[in-house]
Chain A
């Protein structure tokens, strides 16, 4: 229900909102979370738990909430598994429970069997694969939370990089104080302040109604902060609604900012980003993330309306809502009394049950008693009673004997409709530990505190165990001074004094729960995954000692809340059962993300066209106008084939190949890697990295080179051109350009720095247009007037400088098809122009542009390998029948040479490249099909396979065990044929050269 006449920073009562939850319509206000609005409307059940399907209510008010999981919106804006406490209410919000508490639930129906289903139940019962296979789908359908989205996310998400000298994580008292101290004492340093809530202030808002100093301090501090914000070129950046979820090496912090949880952000102006990930590199970090309350443990502690005490207080003070009228506050520290005071101030009945004996006489205890509130001191709750919802509690006296708590005396019942507990506070250390920093268990504060020293980082406020807000201000200032010193801004630091008991402001009693309570059933540690104290006991009985194993055995801490309220209690329980200290048990490893991050936010804008760079040649617009279909080669978009008049790929490729072999084709070869090699040792360098000889290659000539790695395996190939004795241009495959260039630089820099050689990438400098076919020479004569193209004067594998249509060019006679061919290399800015000129001049011979598919067919007909397709990093030059390319008498042991003589590389059982001719000429083998022996075992596979239009039949290249000695034999290739299933196709092992075996076509006819 809502408290009358409530006012706070949070709620704007002038803006009423309507929303739908589980198909019912409700009203709320701007500033409400979905949770607070539902509390206002007396909704008590939010969802069901993971395993047992128990009806659950809210436990907390913030990110530590384990129960209230909802699915928000539908369709393209659907988000599963959000906590109702994190969803800011907006008009028209629509949400459902992740797992409906109001409908029948199978898990809940089999409740009598739950005691037979402890931790490990599913594993032990269904371990036999056959059994699991039968039940898996049904079990998965029953358990769990929200369903996965089915539609594409329609929202936009951004990533932004930031740099700051100081990042303050947490905008509560300590965070604000630290940020101000840094700003007040520095001039140019950039400060970023991050907080996950709507307003700066954290838990301080809870103090406003009882402590004027708190609200004054808050008002003044916020004003000062905003004056820094409003300066020109402000050095303060404020991120609200922003959760810092990861802390990586060298102070790299990732923050998820939420612009809108579920509203549409599409306007006339465009679409704003729904969430933004801020990637911040900080010199210094100040962690002020606060602490989470942990609950008390007792039987059936998961009934609805059993909540955390400070969360009840936050709902009351910030949101003006409360879910009960007859409240019991239960705990082991002073903080429950501040909740009692707040309740008492608005005349809501409450009773306090304090495990600590009446010897504890903190001032606040005395005050509360003085207000007339009934206080039970030295009592513990054994059990909560009610069906789904708490109705009463059973309590009994307890006493501390040495280090053990024991129940004494009989029990009595107390009615209540809301039970709010506090077992102490857990510093939110998670981020600090992401990079491997440790925590230590502090006996005074009864909590795990962040490790004391850490480079370029300070911790302050309740994350450092400092409980009182005034002390937090001082602690934050002190730590900020240390930060300023680390930055070299101050030499001598100021240190304020804190109160004497600053680490145990709340007088938390020693970690409390009598063992007899821990041994009861249904004492839940992890609400979300239904993990109880008995599950921890079971895992220990089965021999698991480490908390990491106990966690994984029981699934404690696995859920969306990542054990924020349950894990520390779990550690205490393990400590008790193992008979060791909290310190010895330790915590499990904290890993990013601290809170959930949307997949869409992770992807940011790197989706669709931006997922990978799409690289185009300068000729690309021509291909698009010609209607080319594209294929992706590495990052390049290359024309695949150019269909005309509704052709499919086969028709287009057949036409393109025949054109190139009978008249004239043209191809854009600009994507190949090109490396400029200069220096007096250029020849020597080439000799060392290629298998073949280079010392005698004359200026004006080109040579095909094969490159191997030190293992003797082929990694790349290409034609290199001799410009002059000190200048060569290497080409590489399109996909291998970057890695080859990198490998060459590695050899040069790390092994051969004495060589006088420089390498420069010129891949983008030149556009390359291949002119291919019997009429190539005729065309070149038209395009270029200052080169002698006569076959005697311009031989195959030579190049000439010339002018093509007014543009300086290098013209190379290189052929990847076996036909007469010239490659025109011009500055890339003229690529588009020259392509159009070539197309125009070539019309006379019906010049046909062809793409990568035709290029593959043409080269396969000639048996030319494609590195990375016919080779896979495991083929040597001998394996592909290119032993001839290994120069015999090079003085330097070139890369890979020594490996060639290793016995394994000379075995007859090696996979060798051969041709395959299907007996049925029209069958085209799918690439990747396996060649099988008579026992149906694979003895090789098809690497390249095409229909050859010039031959009128299919051809294929394959790796075959011992293939080179199996010429003319018949082998079987296993394929799946459409509508016919698995078939074995007989093929003849042949030479890999299928066409123009004597290489006569390369000189042309004229």
Chain B
């Protein structure tokens, strides 16, 4: 059971207080109707499933209930960085 530093509570908490919430930096298209079926499917279904460090969304379910960002290694499970939602964007980190 690993620890995550919640950026809002500003405290290290056990994993069981959190829930994973998918890959980070996936923005909902502003105009879904303008997308082709393939483009829409890309947003709905496709994820990068990266081997290595990846940015993920997590939510502090049994805590402050806020969503935030975690940079985690999918190889070693090490948590490299934690950020409040919106504090990092894909541009600055990838």
| A/B contact in complex, CB under 8 angstroms | yes
Q: Is A249 within 8 A of B77, CB to CB?
A: yes
Stretch at the interface among A346-354, A743-751, A994-1002: A743-751
Q: Which of B33, B35, B43, B67 contacts A746 (CB 8 A)?
A: B67
Q: Are B66 and A898 in contact (CB under 8 A)?
A: no
A150: Cβ under 8 A from any B Cβ: no
Q: Contacts A250-B2, A751-B27, A897-B32: A711 and B44 contacting too (C-beta < 8 A)?
A: yes
Provide the B59-71 mask, 1 if CB < 8 A to any CB of A, else 0. Answer: 1010001110000
Contacts of A898 in B (CB 8 A): 32-33, 35, 40
* B85: A residues at CB distance < 8 A: 749-750
Contact A751 B28 (CB under 8 A): yes
A893 & B33 in contact (Cβ 8 Å cutoff)? yes
A742 touches B33 (CB 8 A): no
Instruction: Please report the number of residue pairs spanning A and B whose Cβ atoms sit closer than 8 angstroms.
Output: 49
Q: Is the pair B59, A746 in contact by a Cβ cutoff of 8 Å?
A: yes
Q: Give the residue of A252, A749, A750 whose beta carbon is less than 8 angstroms from that of B1.
A: A252
The interface residues of chain A lying within 8 Å CB-to-CB of B41 are: 902
| Distance to closest chain A CB from B52 (angstroms) | 15
The smallest beta-carbon distance between A790 and chain B, in angstroms, is 43
| Docked complex: B30-44 residues within 8 A CB-CB of A | 31-33, 35, 37, 40-41, 43-44
Residue B3 is within 8 A (CB to CB) of chain A in the complex: yes
- A745 & B65 in contact (Cβ 8 Å cutoff): yes
Minimum CB–CB distance from B76 to chain A (whole Å) comes to 6
Please measure, in the bound complex, the distance between the C-alpha atom of A745 and the C-alpha atom of B64, giving whole angstroms.
Answer: 12
Among candidates B1, B14, B37, B67, residue contacting A745 with C-beta atoms closer than 8 Å:
B67
CB distance from B29 to the nearest CB of A (A): 8
Q: Is B19 an interface residue (CB 8 A)?
A: yes
Q: What separation, in Å, do the CA atoms of A368 and B41 have in the docked complex?
A: 80
**Minimal beta-carbon separation of A894 from chain B (angstroms):** 10
Minimum CB–CB distance from B56 to chain A (whole Å) comes to 12
**Which residues of B sit under 8 angstroms from A897, Cβ to Cβ?**
32
Secondary structure class of chain A's binding surface, majority of residues: mixed
Q: Report which residue of A249, A746, A750, A902 has the largest number of chain B beta carbons within 10 angstroms of its beta carbon.
A: A750
* Interface pair B2/A899, CB less than 8 Å apart: no
The distance in angstroms between the C-alpha atoms of A742 and B22, with both chains bound, is 13
In chain A between 240 and 259, which residues have their CB closer than 8 angstroms to a CB of chain B? 248-250, 252
In whole angstroms, what is the CA distance A582 to B27 when docked? 51
Contact with B32, one of A281, A711, A893, A903 (Cβ below 8 angstroms): A893
Q: Contact: A749 with B66, CB < 8 Å?
A: yes
The answer to whether B61 and A742 touch across the interface, beta carbons within 8 angstroms, is yes
Q: Which residues of B contact A750 (CB under 8 A)?
A: 57, 67, 85
On whether the beta carbons of A248 and B31 are closer than 8 Å, the reply is no
Partner of A749, one of B31, B67, B76: B67
Instruction: Give the Cβ gap from A552 to chain B, nearest Cβ, in Å.
Output: 23
A710 contacts chain B at the CB level, 8 A cutoff: yes
Query: In chain A, residues 701-757, which have Cβ atoms closer than 8 Å to a Cβ of chain B?
Result: 710-711, 742, 745-746, 749-751, 753
Q: Does B21 contact A (CB under 8 A)?
A: yes
Question: Do residues A436 and B76 form an inter-chain contact, with CB atoms below 8 A?
Answer: yes
Q: How far is the CA of A266 from the CA of B37 in the complex (A)?
A: 67
Most buried by B among A248, A249, A751: A249
- Map CB proximity to B onto A461-475 as digits: 1 under 8 Å, 0 otherwise: 000000000000000
Report whether B59 and A742 are in contact in the complex, using a CB–CB cutoff of 8 Å: yes
8 A Cβ contacts from A870-923 to B: 893, 897-899, 902-903
Chain B residues positioned under 8 Å from A902 (CB to CB): 37, 40-41
Write the chain B residue with the least CB distance to A753: B86
Fill in one digit per residue for A455-492: 1 if any B CB lies within 8 Å of its CB, else 0.
00000000000000000000000000000000000000
Q: A606 → chain B, closest Cβ, in Å?
A: 13
Chain B residue, CB-CB nearest to A455: B78
Tell me the bound Cα distance from A279 to B86 in angstroms: 35
Q: For residue A249, which residues in chain B have a CB less than 8 angstroms away from its CB?
A: 1-3, 77
Question: Is the beta-carbon distance between B3 and A250 smaller than 8 angstroms?
Answer: yes
Whole-angstrom distance from the CB of A874 to the nearest CB of chain B?
A: 14
Report A-chain residues with C-beta under 8 Å of the C-beta of B43.
Answer: 710
> Across the interface, which residues of B come within 8 angstroms of A746, CB to CB?
21, 59, 67
Which of A897, A899, A903 has the most chain B CB within a 10 Å cutoff?
A899
- Which chain B residues border A742 with CB–CB below 8 Å? 19, 59, 61
A738 to chain B, nearest CB (A): 9
Q: Write the nearest CB–CB distance from A676 to chain B, whole angstroms.
A: 14
**Cα distance A899–B36 in the bound complex, in angstroms:** 11
Chain A residue contacts of B33, Cβ below 8 A = 893, 898
Could you name 17 residue pairs across A and B whose Cβ atoms are closer than 8 Å?
A249-B1, A249-B2, A249-B77, A250-B2, A252-B1, A252-B2, A281-B3, A742-B59, A742-B61, A746-B59, A749-B85, A750-B67, A750-B85, A893-B33, A897-B32, A898-B33, A902-B41
Of all A-B residue pairs in the complex, the 9 with the closest CB atoms, nearest first, are A898-B32, A249-B2, A250-B3, A893-B32, A749-B67, A250-B2, A751-B28, A710-B44, A902-B37
Additional pairs, 16, CB under 8 Å, beyond known A279-B1, A742-B61, A902-B37:
A249-B3, A250-B3, A252-B1, A252-B2, A281-B3, A710-B43, A710-B44, A742-B59, A745-B67, A746-B59, A749-B66, A749-B85, A897-B32, A898-B33, A899-B44, A902-B41
